[in-house]
Structure 1
Amino acid sequence: MSKKMKSYALITGASKGIGKAIAYELAKQGYPLLLVARSEKELKTLSDDLRVKYSINTSILAIDLSLSDASRKVTDWIKMNNYPIAILVNNAGYGVWGDFSQSSLNDQLGMMQLNMNVVVELSHLLVPLLSKEKQAYILNISSTAAYQAVPTLAVYSATKAFVLSFTRALRFELTKTSISVSCFSPGPVATGFAERAGLSALNKMAEKFNMQPEEVAKMAVKAMFSKKSEVIPGVTNIISVYANRLLPKAFIEKTAAGIYKI
């Protein structure tokens, strides 16, 4: 199939980190892109670079997805411009670190809206468009934090557990359709997540275990096109997830609390 014939891939949180790296990975494969994030400046810079390097069509929408009507506006934008869409990458999200009772409730609720509700909303709103394609994909970005409770990242880890569970169920429901649904759960990635979450004290330790966004994106896109149900990148991350299944939960949570202590 020629580049011009391919339908679009929509990527949320596309301006930086894993989302940006996935944009480059899909652009290399000739997919036109719909790039969504808050920063119009960063999106425009990314869009221009992708067009020049890979000769693909790109369109950007600068919007704060944590706002209650954002998913509907994204969908209206797609329909208004008659963009055929074959891929939905639910990547946008962030973390808030600290004791739950001492953290801002608005910050926690905003994180829940972005990490969970937007994934559900966009999936629900775009499944009818995706189903028009001979083959379509939904890729949900979760985290290894989905596999355990993490004190001081209590709500974040819970939102990622939600994404994982939701993806598993949605995949089953859509088995007999043209839409393949995958969940990709990376561990630490060099994306600036720690700084935004307020975890700058862990930067030195994270540097030892961080994967690079480019390698993570390559693995995520490969998993999606291979129709994998659930992928955890990196041997260390796989081992830690399996350890969570075997070891007592109290021990795992105490260990996590020690790593992320305030």
Structure 2
Amino acid sequence: MDGYALITGAGKGIGRSIALQLAQKGHNLLLVSRSESDLKSLATQLITDHEIKIEYLAIDLSVNGAALKIFNWVASLTVPISILINNAGHGLWGDFEALPLDGQTNMMQVNMNALVELSHLFIPLLKQQKQAHLLNIASTAAYQSVPVLAVYSATKAFVLSFSRALRYELKDSPIAVSCLSPGPTDTGFAKRAGMEALAELAEKFNMQADDVARIGLKGMFNKKAEIVPGLLNRLSVFGVRHIPKSFSERIAANLYKH
């Protein structure tokens, strides 16, 4: 395949599944995540199973300047980039005033700022290809405000809005911009967000990361603007667009405060 695919948050969950499926399609990969052990394990597996080229970089995207370090790392490799997948992100569960402020600003840095910085840095490189793709990962939480996930849902609303605007700006370029908005997915997100109390509920509705990745990549290659995997998730998104916001917020609050 022409060009490499750069994937952030590639060590686990949806990012790992995306890497596995792109490798199966013969794409060379640049993998970025916080955990070097996760990246090394994934790279070893993919190199063994597929005849592709892989490079990886362990870095924390919550640190200022991380996006530029990633860009400089890619530049030092002198390889073409045809796909950028901004998958890195995390959430925090709890009332806004009760959660530590630094944890919430850290989340905003990863979910929004780093995504914007990487997009801005890599768009000139993506434009050098005959066809390129930029896929941002949001969430079904992007479609409504979610009490006790107030900042997280706001960051994902930003990702969705930014992706649509960027898609329009780049419509006459080789770059197709898409936004993938998964619902509950079996990735360990709930545990990392401090939502252990909802684990049993989440298990009833979780999609598998492999299925989300497959649907996301299909939508990306088909140049879809918005990709919402799963019938229940699509119905949820449709519903919140057609009911009063106060009603959808009350439903979300009752659900997530359990």
TM-score, normalisation: structure 2:
0.99
- Measure the CA separation in 1 of the matches of 2:217 and 2:56: 21
Aligned-pair CA distance for 1:80: 1.0
> 1:145 pairs with 141, 145, 151, which one?
141
Name 1:19's counterpart in structure 2: 15
Cα deviation digits, residues 87-144 of structure 1 (max 9, x gap): 0000000001101001010000000000001110000000010000010000001000
Name 1:71's counterpart in structure 2: 67
Cα deviation digits, residues 3-49 of structure 1 (max 9, x gap): 4xx21000000000000000001001100000000100110000010
Q: Within 5 A, what are the aligned runs for 1:3-42?
A: 3=1, 6-42=2-38
Q: Within 5 A, what are the aligned runs for 1:130-141?
A: 130-141=126-137
TM-score, normalisation: structure 1:
0.97
- Measure the CA separation in 2 of the matches of 1:176 and 1:108: 36
Name 2:192's counterpart in structure 1: 196
Cα deviation digits, residues 179-214 of structure 1 (max 9, x gap): 000001010000000000000111111111000000
- Measure the CA separation in 1 of the matches of 2:3 and 2:245: 44
Name 2:216's counterpart in structure 1: 220
Equivalences, count: 258
SS at match of 2:97: helix
Aligned-pair CA distance for 1:83: 1.7
- Measure the CA separation in 2 of the matches of 1:67 and 1:166: 22
Gaps of 5+ in 1: none
State whether structure 2 residue 49 is matched by structure 1 residue 47: no
Choose 177-186 or 240-249, whichever is displaced more. Answer: 240-249
> 2:90 pairs with 87, 91, 94, which one?
94
Write the letter of the residue equivalent to 1:221. Answer: L
Name 1:123's counterpart in structure 2: 119
SS at match of 1:180: strand
Q: Which runs of 4+ in 1 moved over 4 A?
A: none
Gaps of 5+ in 2: none
